[in-house]
Structure 1
Amino acid sequence: MGKRVFDFAVNIINFYRRFSSEKKEFILSKQILRSRTSVGANIREALNAQSTMDFIHKRSISQKECDETIYWLELLFATGYISKKTLKV
């Protein structure tokens, strides 16, 4: 699994810790935590795929989880929970 994927998962865990304690928002931030950490888990599963189709399937799940994470972040931005700077990180 790529270091970049792992590092981003660590960043999102730290974001969740700070965000949930500072903003007292737990529902959306927990969704971000779940979807973002799932990306790395599915990439790791893809590395152990039993077939090419299994590999493609696991990687496509990772892509969907990335898209879901973006959705939750955009929602937090649209409702004023996070700044544009935070959204770009």
Structure 2
Amino acid sequence: MPNTISGNAIARQIIRSGTSPAANYRAACIAKSDKDFINKLKIVEEELDETIHWIEIIDAANLLPTNKLSDLQNEANELYKIIRSSIITMRRKSDNL
């Protein structure tokens, strides 16, 4: 990231949103109930979506070369899909109980 006010601000945001999903997933793994698990996964989903948003901004503003962002964007999108699928599965499971 460029050493500019906007570059530093975006870098801080993406570090925060990019590391938060792991901590929140860890919290989900020790959830007290299915509802608690789903709620914690929703936080993971939101943080991943925010990370994807910041990657898109970095790309659109040409703050980093696209080739440096593509792997990050692909990984964030894949994680988002996995978490989204897990939320749907858990909701179905909870509805059937």
TM-score greater than 0.5 by the shorter chain? yes
Tell me the TM-score normalised to structure 2 length.
0.67
User: Which residue is 1:57 aligned to?
Assistant: 39
Tell me the TM-score normalised to structure 1 length.
0.72
List gaps (5 residues or longer) in structure 1. Answer: 1-18
C-alpha separation between the residues in 2 aligned to 1:74 and 1:31?
13
The one-character-per-residue Cα deviations of 1:11-61 (angstroms, maximum 9, x if unpaired) are: xxxxxxxx3xxx112101110000011000000000110110000011111
Residue 32 (structure 1) aligned with residue 14 (structure 2): yes
List gaps (5 residues or longer) in structure 2. Answer: 72-97
For these two proteins, the number of residue pairs brought into alignment is 68
User: Which residue is 1:80 aligned to?
Assistant: 62
| Residue identity opposite 2:59 in structure 1 | F
Runs of 4+ in 1 over 4 A off after TM superposition: none
The one-character-per-residue Cα deviations of 1:41-88 (angstroms, maximum 9, x if unpaired) are: 000000110110000011111011111001001101111101111221
| Residue identity opposite 2:50 in structure 1 | E
Please report the RMSD computed on the Cα atoms of aligned residues, expressed in angstroms. 0.9
C-alpha separation between the residues in 1 aligned to 2:48 and 2:18?
6
Identity of aligned residues (%): 38
| Residue identity opposite 2:10 in structure 1 | L
Larger radius of gyration, structure 1 or 2?
A: 2
